[in-house]
Amino acid sequence: MATIDPRATPQFRDAQAAMFDNLASVPLSIFSYNLDPTDVVSVPTGVFPAEELWAPEVQLNYALAGVDRDPTSKPMGYLFSRHGTQWFLASDTLTSRNTWRGPWDFGPVTTIKTKSGVVLAHPGDAALAKRIGDELDSDVKAVSAVWDQPWSREVAVLVPSSTDELKAFVGPEFAVDSIAAVAVADRVDNAGHTAIGQRVVLNPDNADKMPEASLKVVLRHEMTHIAARGYTVDGTPMWMLEGFANYVGYRDSGISMDVGAADVAELERDGTVPTDLPANGDFAASGDKINLAYDEAWTLTSFIADTFGQHALVTLYLRVAGGDPKADLGQQLHDVLGVDKAGLVAGWQDYLRRKF
């Protein structure tokens, strides 16, 4: 704490002290900072009492041991202050830069390590963290049983304890109250089929209420996104992206399709079948519409796997999700499955009639 400005607010000093205490239980292989003295933002005079203030670009580099093969970088909006010949850290909120917050900024961290990854949570969510830890190895194995492309087979799961912490991890674009979990990444290299800073982030308010089978589906779904991230380009059709993850999630879960895709089953029994592939916009809707989109995507990818084989489903994912988003889908379907889009939809409709 000798490098913290004595004139810093008590809240900042206390937060810094708590952060370093909390870091002691986090399995880190790298924790360092990069500073760029050529990229400096101006700070209004008088914002902090000092002879000189300095706000260069600062990046935190960190890696979780046993999960991150390369460190990820996060922005830190640090303000440095000079008194005489000594420089101090004065604040992380007084510049125009944002400061990223990690689990260690939100309280004591409990860590569960497994062969296939790590769970970071807080003492209040210890029971949920244990449930996740008990699942982790088998869920990674289940994903790898379908996804036969190279991936790390190591996953970090974060269990935030508040809405603010959840937003810090997933960003403001997610409706955090409605999600059970989300897979995030800091950087993706599609050419090298790798991604950096991947995390599965759970919403404990929703996940804690789930029975074991449902939690298993959610974890496997999000782990599938992590496994396939390096092979997935922006603009991938959502039915392929989410349908494939749901296929892996529900596979061998013990949840039947008429239960897991109840909305689709009800429509089919009422004589209403999908007439087109689920649209991207449906996955950004709310309420019943988004639920139906996910259910339809799952039944569609299940139809592909059951009819053409699981390997064909993976091949189609690689072709559609890993190729040019502007490519002709009909040609991609024909090349992999031997059917055009109309044939795919017709076969899917017949599949639903037989299933429900």
Q: What is the pLDDT of residue 178?
A: 74
Contact 34, 59 (CB under 8 A): yes
Instruction: Supply the pLDDT for residue 172.
Output: 78
User: What pLDDT tens digit does each residue of the chain (356 aa) get?
Assistant: 889 999 999 999 999 999 999 999 999 999 999 999 999 999 988 899 999 999 999 999 999 999 999 999 999 999 999 999 999 999 999 999 999 999 999 999 999 999 999 999 999 999 999 999 999 999 999 999 999 999 999 999 999 999 999 999 998 777 777 788 999 999 999 999 999 999 999 998 888 889 999 999 999 999 999 999 999 999 999 999 999 999 999 999 999 999 999 999 999 999 998 999 999 999 988 778 899 999 999 999 999 999 999 999 999 999 999 999 899 999 999 999 999 999 999 999 999 999 99
Question: What three-state secondary structure class fits 115?
Answer: coil
**Delimiting residues of CATH 3.30.2010.30 domain(s) in the chain:** 109-231
Going by their DSSP bridges, the two strands 79-83 and 86-91 should be labelled as: antiparallel
Tokens representing residue 124 in the block: 């209040």
Q: Which CATH architecture has domain 109-231?
A: 2-Layer Sandwich (3.30)
Arch. (CATH architecture) of 10-100:
Roll (3.10)
CA distance 263 to 192: 39
pLDDT score of 177: 75
Q: Where in the chain is the domain with CATH 3.10.450?
A: 10-100
d(CA 179, CA 175): 7
